[in-house]
Chain A
């Protein structure tokens, strides 16, 4: 064989059982560069997710005059949420709840199928940590160089490297926090104001906070965020079962492990040559050969590392691979992983996803541009007028979600011989027409008076009908007319 021998790396998992103590300070992890299928996949996903994050606020979407032209905008000042063709008012926050439910269910489904795919590939903590490690490697070199630099005495070149690295990290943090604020205001305007110092203080404080958290989480704390701060590793245990895909080492094939010299026989020994490369590349600093563990984010970099080694020593790949718990106990090399995709919990999650998704779609498609709310005066319940008729008062709230002024006609159904008028215009009102400016709510006070003899048992059910005089769109609201018993 012409392959160079595989060296054993001097590294130990940070969470070795024998070394666990209640007070232990963190051991700096220096992940070695990995290469392979999953590393490539991770670079691609990192590119896509970062692009979505940075580019989204800059996409324009024409909504006509008077409305913002930003495709995705959370407008706290005017209490609106825009997402392309969707525009939500604060009282429609249940759509957000729906999206959160969909997101949670998707996460559950993906977890029960592919384990911690979220943690390993698309969690911002993973993506940004990857980015920070990439920058660190570019400036200080790979694992060995970084360890050496750590141990090296203080020198000018060390100072330069450290200052460069931390500056680069802070710049990334600044860009991260900077991108965040563009979701909450018109991006081009805010960028101009931000640079010229005219933006609102909360923009600066948000950027400052997010810069700090990005720098601290991605640069300094890294794997500690996942292990100690994040609740998801604890929750995900409930999502997975013995059929979920996890990054796993096949002990039946690998053990007993031990160093292997070229041309040695593979008989009576395992395929693991104990080179520790899987530990060295791990961003969490753990040893996958200890089995499935809380700290493992399933990023699959150890698979890439081990596959490379197996290729070098001329053995089939897959000593470490994505497999189910069941598959991890098999001795033969993994060629094709069999995952029973259709299981009770995956079906349940899919059905729930479809259900919530359809409800959301239905609600969104049938969303009306007009909403009416009628609030009855309760103090006093009713007023007797001098001619013996009974008068009730109502506050009618008309909500015009269009971007232009509309005139609405208000009529009362179900009360014979009654007369209705707007408080602002007095009892001589001929036709009840209320103009409502675009994208706003108007409240008007309405009086209805009816002769005493039409009232049975004191109460009368009536319907307030509101009609858009331009489009003919109507909305109704049931209410009550009260009188003396």
Chain B
């Protein structure tokens, strides 16, 4: 995969133009554009359906043929849908109980561990790094039951600090350790060496020399860790069963259960789609703003969304 070795590290080609001199026939050109537009249309359609349904009232929802462009649009659905469940609390839980602590802890711990793997030479390094990578292959279900039993015995089910989900972040995340290590290896060793000669400790080098150079890689970790916890459904589902602790993902699930399980209540779908739009929107905006960081992260390590 892309192992970057230029001086300015993690610079994955932002879709570089291909300077082909070979003329493609106009017919082929038209076919390519046609296919691309068709694909983009297909890929966008579900998201469009989400937003357009969010703007409908019930008569528009239950009409055949479907209403493609709601008229009038019911913008109030966003406010009413949000109020149908305590989504304010859920949003606070998502950010402050889950995503923020997990992200901060993962970045710091993975950063320190990756430094130990990349920038210090010691015996057994390769072996331990191999072990670390191997844990990526370990399906989480295998440790799920024992961990659940341990956390339950510790009284951490419904922990207000989300301990079963946040505490493991103290110990680094193999994906990000791998990513940061690959990145550190592209930073010239002379920089650390010069600092060592001047008497700087590894700890100082780590924070004052390597960190400023590692911003792009750290940004990848921050973005993806935040994204994963924001999107996580299963973790909270296992460890939380109190409404006022639910993050957004469980809030939507709860709204769906109450709105559609015994026949559709009034405005069930518009409200569900409105709330889904609100929860998906920060992710989409973050992607648009930090597109390069996203693409770099994926291309470097094969990180999935």
Do chains A and B interact in one complex? no
- List the interface of chain B (C-beta within 8 A of A): none
